[in-house]
Amino acid sequence: MKRFDNIIIGILVGLLLPIGFIWLYLYNFQPDFPFFEALKTLWGRPLFGKLMLLAAIPDLMILFFVKKQDAFKLGTGIMIGMIPYLIASVLAMIIF
The residue among 48, 57, 62 whose CA lies nearest residue 18 is: 57
Q: Mean per-residue pLDDT for 25-41?
A: 92
User: Residue 41: which domain range?
Assistant: 2-95
Global pTM? 0.88
**What is the identity of the amino acid at 32?**
D
**Does the pLDDT at position 2 exceed 80?**
no
The three-point CA angle 51-54-59 to 5° equals 135
Q: How many domains does the chain have?
A: 1
Distance CA 75, CA 60 (A): 10
Distance CA 81, CA 49 (A): 17
Angle between helices 57-68 and 46-55 in degrees, nearest 10: 20
